[in-house]
């Protein structure tokens, strides 16, 4: 089973040179630490920045420079600042190539639920609905099962939906899976030490196994 | 050049009445109109509807207006980080309308730009789509969304001139420029107010045509929500 | 009868302090010369400028600074530059208070025709349709009659329309007229030496005369 | 930072094929991509559709492409000042679609922003409305208009960096920033190309995310259509 850092590390392998990328809060934010140094990519912050840099040193902290998680950040050379309408224009217009975000549930046709749990205080969807409705490529970082052992990869989402038919790939603590255009989770890779049988048991939605399933590597 | 200067926050918000429909710039606590919020707190008004991406925290920003029970309704994309907000919401004292952030931004932009409605893919297939027109364009489904306009838009800029031209700093820009354009009366507080002609016309983010009142604010706290430092 | 300069001069009296104004090509451009110096107004150029200044001196000419008529211009202090979408956002959004433009025909319900003559080469409507559909207050500068003596103030426009029910006031070489909300040209002022009878004769649309009609003044 | 630099105009336009759908920035002759127009003239292509507010003059700008019979259709708001244009139009060699300038700008902006359709009051009751959906919002009538997107958007900026970030000058900005966002491939020619990091992130008009190719142009003529001098 992968820990959060390892999920981030595996997702980083999906990043391609020249991409503009939006990283959600949580595990997705960690992905930035594992993107190979030889790739030129640009990280977008939907509150109005292209070119997120590392967190600042104490002396560099600027309250007027934060990311979408409200954390203080820095800018890399070549960055650009803009307003919220322009930010979502570039998201909605398909200019951001890759969105990586967390999920509570994903369905076998690529629906995602990650913003609301009935009965709990609703904090809001933020930019998630815009991101999942717009990006070409959406990769989800998530735990395969809930804390009480229920699969979060389902035939249909039970929680309120964030977006439909949008997820392309999932990296969970157990596996890498792609969503089949015809529906179903195509098992591509296993986490080290995790068997196909365990993944099968823990996937409530349709699991598609097409040939041998290699153990994932991180390099 | 038309002079939009007023004496300060108190004068700027003096005619905001009960039940006014307001927009307030800012993302989290970054780029919020601190001086105008303080001046509103001194006024005996209530029933406000506020369009703002977030709702502040318990003891800062819009959270202060919530605590004083001045707010009837929030229109936002994300309202976490605020216990008093949660209490009022659960008790029914406060209404909240949650809107996807990009849809919120575009609805505000549309309000300023005279576009009464537009189509966006955000929210298709979700509860956000309930009651809305859904239409297919080029094989993809979209929702129709309406413009948002405010009686008063209250924004915070870095520099401004007496003609109302504004320049923002860093990510404190966020919703401020689009809200400035969507207010019937737009109030801008700035860290530095300069004479018309002192700003480069090519570097202005918000044209003064959108701003009716401007003043130089004071004592900006600029509180940080998540001070995150590199190791 | 007024000449073009006098029409511009009379229209300038309609300008109020604090207004943002778009002036069309032709007579409307001349209005700028007659706006009282004690009024603070801002002239918008729809190609992307608020704050049009005088034409440049030879040494100041900048090919990157033109008005919507493609003439070289200057900027006044406090000007701001923007792109074409922003420019029409401020027009369409009602932020420009006053539009002054020319017309080939105006109808008694405020329709305007000024962009196309059937059988002639069509040059295009430019920004005129956006301007007339958007501005709160639209004043037309025009000749009362065509060169062959036909009235251009009509029951209905005969030329292709630029916008409907939008004109508020007309300043012609003969008269100042307002469009009645119920339809009709309300005669407000006569040009010096022009009789009510002459205006009546030369107005094909419904002319409303409500009390004595003063001769116009220019100060 | 991603490097968008190409060697020059020739490389930038090399893969533009017959019948391509292009956008070209500029208002009149101000802010037009002179170098790319010259490079296109050297190519043996035809059947182009060009979205541009104007169509140049007989011997400069898009007028040169018209003269060489490379253009099938112009989508513009105003096409006066061009005798060759008029001749081709009247003879049926050239199609033209005339669009109100603000609608043109907003359709291009919508194309870049992922908004497939929106409502505008411009053209209601005119022949522009023919065949379009008309809808009433808040008591006023509006037309539904669709987005415009291009295979290639060709723009001209004042300064640019290797990451594709652009700054325009004066009213040469006009349609350039919105077209930059609406091109599947966007080509930017700039008067001065600087390294990424040399431009102030707060002063950039077009974010580099919209630009796929950038180069420093040369020998700008910047012809003036109406040289008007103060007495």
Domain boundary assignment for chain A: 4-208
Q: How far is C108 from chain B (nearest CA, A)?
A: 27
DSSP secondary structure, C151-217, as one string: BSEESS--SPPSBSS---EEEESSEEEEE-TTSSEEEEEE-TT--HHHHHHT--S-EE--S--PBP-
Q: What residues in B contact A160, CB-CB < 8 Å?
A: 126-127
Contact A115, A109 (CB under 8 A): no
Residue of B29, B100, B136 to mutate, testing the A interface (most A Cβ within 10 Å of its Cβ)? B100
Which residue among the candidates A5, A14, A46, A60 is catalytic per the annotation?
A46
DSSP letter for A161, please: P
Give the tokens for residue A160: 């309120």
Angle at CA D187, nearest 5°, toward A132 and D149?
50
Q: With a cut of 90, say whether residue C219 has pLDDT above it.
A: no
Q: What residues in D contact B114, CB-CB < 8 Å?
A: 120-121
* b (16+ CB within 10 A) / e for B67-102: beebbebbbbbbbebbebbbebbeeeebebebbbbb
What pLDDT shows up at residue D168?
98
Strand blocks (E) in D25-94: 48-51, 71-76
Contact A77 D196 (CB under 8 A): yes
Q: For residue B80, what pLDDT band results from cuts at 50, 70 and 90?
A: confident
Burial of C99 (0-12, 13-18, 19+ CB in 10 A): buried
What pLDDT shows up at residue D90?
86
The region, left, alpha or beta by phi > 0 then psi within -120 to 50, assigned to residue B83 is: alpha
Taking the C-alpha atoms of residue D191 and residue D168, their distance in angstroms, rounded to an integer, is 10
Contact B119 D116 (CB under 8 A): yes
Calculate the average pLDDT of chain C: 96
pLDDT tens sequence across C176-216 = 999 999 999 999 999 999 999 999 999 999 999 999 999 99
Residue D202's SS3 state is coil
Domain ranges of chain B: 9-118+148-216
What pLDDT shows up at residue A122?
85
Q: With a cut of 80, say whether residue C148 has pLDDT above it.
A: yes
Contact D201 A92 (CB under 8 A): no
Contact A82 B125 (CB under 8 A): no
What pLDDT shows up at residue D63?
95
According to CATH, what is the number of the domain B9-118+148-216? Answer: 3.40.1080.10
Q: For residue B89, what pLDDT band results from cuts at 50, 70 and 90?
A: confident
Q: What is the mean pLDDT of residues B202-223?
A: 98
Contact B142, D116 (CB under 8 A): yes
Q: For residue C121, what pLDDT band results from cuts at 50, 70 and 90?
A: confident
Q: How far is C163 from chain D (nearest CA, A)?
A: 6
What pLDDT shows up at residue D84?
86
Give the CATH architecture of domain C4-208.
3-Layer(aba) Sandwich (3.40)
Do the two chains C and D touch, given a threshold of 8 Å on CB pairs and at least 3 pairs? yes
Q: How far is C64 from chain B (nearest CA, A)?
A: 12
Subunits with 3+ C-beta pairs closer than 8 A to B:
A, C, D
Q: What is the mean pLDDT of residues A29-42?
A: 95
What pLDDT shows up at residue D231?
76
Q: What residues in D contact B117, CB-CB < 8 Å?
A: 118-119, 135, 137, 142
Strand blocks (E) in B25-139: 48-51, 71-76, 95-98, 117-120, 134-137
Give the tokens for residue C23: 């002036």
Q: With a cut of 80, say whether residue D42 has pLDDT above it.
A: yes
Closest CA to C151 of C115, C183, C199, C114: C199
Q: For residue D192, what pLDDT band results from cuts at 50, 70 and 90?
A: very high
Please name the member of C79, C91, C93 whose beta carbon is closest to the beta carbon of B201.
C79
Contact D160, D167 (CB under 8 A): yes
Q: What is the mean pLDDT of residues C88-101?
A: 97
Residues near A125 by beta carbon (within 8 Å), at least 6 away in sequence = A115, A116, A162, B77, B78, B98, B100, B101, B128
Q: CB distance from D129 to chain C under 8 Å?
A: no
Q: Which of the pair, D81 or D104, is modelled with greater confidence?
A: D104
DSSP letter for B123, please: T
- Whole-number percent of chain A with pLDDT over 70: 100
Calculate the average pLDDT of chain D: 97
What pLDDT shows up at residue A147?
93
- A-facing residues of D in 17-46 (CB < 8 A) are none
Q: How far is D72 from chain A (nearest CA, A)?
A: 27
Contact B106 A88 (CB under 8 A): yes
Q: What is the mean pLDDT of residues B192-216?
A: 98
Residue of D3, D108, D110, D114 to mutate, testing the A interface (most A Cβ within 10 Å of its Cβ)? D114
Asked whether the whole model's pTM tops 0.90, one would answer yes
Q: How far is C46 from chain D (nearest CA, A)?
A: 9
What pLDDT shows up at residue D86?
86
Q: With a cut of 80, say whether residue C56 has pLDDT above it.
A: yes
Told to judge if C215 belongs to the known catalytic residues of this protein, a careful annotator would answer no
Taking the C-alpha atoms of residue B86 and residue B159, their distance in angstroms, rounded to an integer, is 35
Q: What is the mean pLDDT of residues B28-55?
A: 97
Which residue among the candidates C46, C105, C108, C189 is catalytic per the annotation?
C46
Give the tokens for residue B121: 């893919």
pLDDT tens sequence across A174-218 = 999 999 999 999 999 999 999 999 999 999 999 999 999 999 998
β-strands C105-107, C153-154 pairing? parallel
What pLDDT shows up at residue D81?
75
Q: What is the ipTM of this complex?
A: 0.97
Q: With a cut of 80, say whether residue B55 has pLDDT above it.
A: yes
Q: What is the mean pLDDT of residues C63-67?
A: 97
What pLDDT shows up at residue D28?
96
Q: What residues in D contact C93, CB-CB < 8 Å?
A: none
Give the tokens for residue A124: 């809001």
Taking the C-alpha atoms of residue D208 and residue B42, their distance in angstroms, rounded to an integer, is 45
Which residue has tokens 């934010």? A29
Residue of C45, C93, C97 to mutate, testing the B interface (most B Cβ within 10 Å of its Cβ)? C93
What pLDDT shows up at residue A101?
96
């Amino acid at each position: 089973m992968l820990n959060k850092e390892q999920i981030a590390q595996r997702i980083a392998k999906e990043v391609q040179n020249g991409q503009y990328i939006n990283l959600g809060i949580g595990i997705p934010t960690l992905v930035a630490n594992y993107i190979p140094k030889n790739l030129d990519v640009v990280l977008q912050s939907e509150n109005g920045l292209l070119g997120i840099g590392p967190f600042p040193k104490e002396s560099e902290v600027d309250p007027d420079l934060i990311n979408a998680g409200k954390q203080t950040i820095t800018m890399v050379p070549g960055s650009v600042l803009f307003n919220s309408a322009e930010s979502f224009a570039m998201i909605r217009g398909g200019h951001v190539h890759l969105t990586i975000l967390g999920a509570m549930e994903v369905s076998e046709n690529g629906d995602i639920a990650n913003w609301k749990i009935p009965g709990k205080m609703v904090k809001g969807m933020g930019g998630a609905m815009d991101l999942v409705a717009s990006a070409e490529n959406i990769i989800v970082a998530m735990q395969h099962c809930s804390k009480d052992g229920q699969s979060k990869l389902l035939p249909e989402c039970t929680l309120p939906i964030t977006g439909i038919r949008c997820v392309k790939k999932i990296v969970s603590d157990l596996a890498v899976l792609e969503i089949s255009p015809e529906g179903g989770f195509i098992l591509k890779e296993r986490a080290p030490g995790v068997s196909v049988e365990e993944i099968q048991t823990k996937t409530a939605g349709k699991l598609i196994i097409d040939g041998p399933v290699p153990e994932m590597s991180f390099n | 050049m038309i002079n939009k200067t007023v004496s300060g926050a108190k004068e700027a918000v003096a005619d905001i009445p009960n039940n006014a429909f307001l927009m307030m710039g800012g993302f989290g606590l970054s780029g919020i109109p601190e001086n105008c919020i303080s001046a509103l707190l001194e006024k005996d008004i209530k029933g406000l509807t506020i369009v703002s991406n977030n709702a502040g925290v318990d003891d800062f920003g819009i959270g202060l207006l919530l605590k004083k029970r001045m707010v009837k309704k929030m229109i936002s994309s994300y309202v976490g980080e605020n216990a008093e907000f949660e209490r009022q919401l659960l008790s029914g004292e406060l209404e909240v309308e949650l809107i996807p952030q990009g849809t919120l931004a575009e609805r505000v932009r549309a309000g300023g730009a005279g576009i009464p409605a537009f189509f966006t893919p955000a929210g298709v297939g979700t509860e956000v789509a309930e009651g809305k027109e859904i239409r297919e364009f080029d094989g993809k489904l979209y929702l129709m969304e309406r413009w948002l306009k405010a009686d008063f838009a209250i924004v915070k800029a870095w520099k401004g001139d007496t003609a109302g031209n504004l320049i923002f700093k860093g990510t404190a820009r966020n919703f401020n420029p689009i809200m400035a354009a969507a207010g019937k009366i737009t109030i801008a507080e700035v860290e530095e107010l300069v004479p018309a002609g002192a700003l480069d016309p090519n570097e202005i983010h918000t044209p003064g045509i959108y701003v009716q009142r401007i003043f130089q604010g004071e004592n900006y706290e600029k509180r940080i929500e998540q001070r995150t430092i590199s190791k």
